[in-house]
Amino acid sequence: SAVISQKPSRDICQRGTSLTIQCQVDSQVTMMFWYRQQPGQSLTLIATANQGSEATYESGFVIDKFPISRPNLTFSTLTVSNMSPEDSSIYLCSVGLAGNNEQFFGPGTRLTVL
Amino acid sequence: GDSVTQMEGPVTLSEEAFLTINCTYTATGYPSLFWYVQYPGEGLQLLLKATKADDKGSNKGFEATYRKETTSFHLEKGSVQVSDSAVYFCALRRGSGNTGKLIFGQGTTLQVKP
């Protein structure tokens, strides 16, 4: 399995500001994923982040709004830029391990935008 | 495109009752199927999985069988406990290994009363 930590665990931000969420894994992983869970809704994939290459964004998500860094095999950041109340969600980091058919999720970052 | 549909909640049961949460999917090929659980205030955890038709995933008394003919992966438990109260997500992933994105259903809230 993988142990995943995220910082911050929660934050309350003002409209128009940006927040960077960190994801740290206790082992080296090739692929990391960022998901969003809007209030009362399911999880939606934002992007897939591979080390050493540009992140791949899903339809409806763009790099200018959700820039992602992946500097090494154990760490990634997701920035939520120019926030609006519609960005209020739980943001989750997820990883897949080589040779394992599972994905593991971090505890999530609960973001509230006022 | 690929999609997952779960029965709407909330589902409210008495302790020791039988649980079924329906899940059907739409996908080409042979996706892997998963049930994830999110306990109150906690992150998403893998509950069980099945990777091919007729496979049965099981864990903590929960079971689900991959039914290709009905494109279903219903979650069952013979006798629920108060501690099973949580949100349950059905998900699919196409492709082998852990490189594909997970597509989630909308989640079903289960509340078990003593």
pLDDT level of residue B9 (50, 70, 90 thresholds): confident
Is residue B98 predicted with pLDDT exceeding 70? no
Amino acid at B21: I
User: Between chains, do A41 and B106 touch, taking CB under 8 Å as contact?
Assistant: yes
pLDDT level of residue B73 (50, 70, 90 thresholds): very high
Q: Write down the H helix ranges in B18-70.
A: none
* Contact B51/A at CB under 8 A: yes
From A58's Cα to the closest Cα of chain B, the distance in A is 10
Amino acid at B74: H
Is residue B97 predicted with pLDDT exceeding 60? no
**Residues facing residue B10 across a β-bridge:** none
* Residue B66 vs residues B19, B39, B76, B102: alpha-carbon distances, Å: 17, 24, 12, 16
pLDDT of residue A53: 82
Nearest-CA residue of chain A relative to B10? A40
Is residue A112 predicted with pLDDT exceeding 70? yes
Is residue A99 predicted with pLDDT exceeding 80? no
Burial-class residue B25 by CB neighbours within 10 Å (0-12, 13-18, 19+): buried
Mutate to test the interface with A, among B25, B44, B109 (most CBs of A within 10 A): B44
Mean pLDDT to the nearest integer, B79-89: 96
Cis, bond preceding B114 (omega within 30 deg of 0): no
In contact, B65 and B55? CB cutoff 8 Å: yes
